[in-house]
Amino acid sequence: MLYKLTALTVSSLLLAACGGQPSGSAAPAAPAAAPAAALPRSAAPADAKVYIISPANGATVASPFKVEFGLSGMGVAPAGVQFENTGHHHLLVDVDLPEDMSVPLANDATHLHFGKGQTETTVTLPPGTHTLQLVLGDSLHIPFDPPVISDKITVTVAP
């Protein structure tokens, strides 16, 4: 019975986190995550790196603009697909990294999920200065251990 409850919880989290939303669109926030003990973290290779290919840090862009994701030392797979050393991208917009990296990443307007294995998106932001950062999540949207995180970049959206 405990196995069925855990499987149901994990399935619910995956459905809520992926939500079938188009790339870069916000979805309703996922329900509260299950306790960290119920969701094991995936190990990341020591040489794994995720990075933003474009735009460049400090760039001035016109909205909407394209964001391209880069990854080395690992592969990309859709959410829910579990292969060793693979994950999928999450783009954090104007927000800091979550304090608890042992639970699935939020899914909202500032935490964009790319659970179909996308490696780029188009982002629409208002004029002003914004930050972008990538976090690689495993098949359950949980950051790897150790986390595979890009540098945070800053872009200015022209009026």
Chain segment 80-139, per-residue pLDDT in tens? 999 999 999 999 999 999 999 999 999 999 999 999 999 999 999 999 999 999 999 999
39 band by pLDDT with thresholds 50, 70 and 90: confident
Question: Which are the contacts of 140, defined by CB distance < 8 A and separation ≥ 6?
Answer: 10, 13, 14, 39, 79, 80, 104
Tell me the per-residue pLDDT of 43-82, one tens digit each, with 9 for 90 and over.
999 999 999 999 999 999 999 999 999 999 999 999 999 9
AA letter at 48: A
Domain borders along the chain are 2-21+44-157
Instruction: State the pLDDT at residue 12.
Output: 39
Q: Quick one: how far is CA 122 from the chain centroid?
A: 15
Reported pTM: 0.78
Instruction: State the pLDDT at residue 6.
Output: 34
Structure token digits, residue 86: 């693979």
Q: What does CATH list as the number for 2-21+44-157?
A: 2.60.40.10
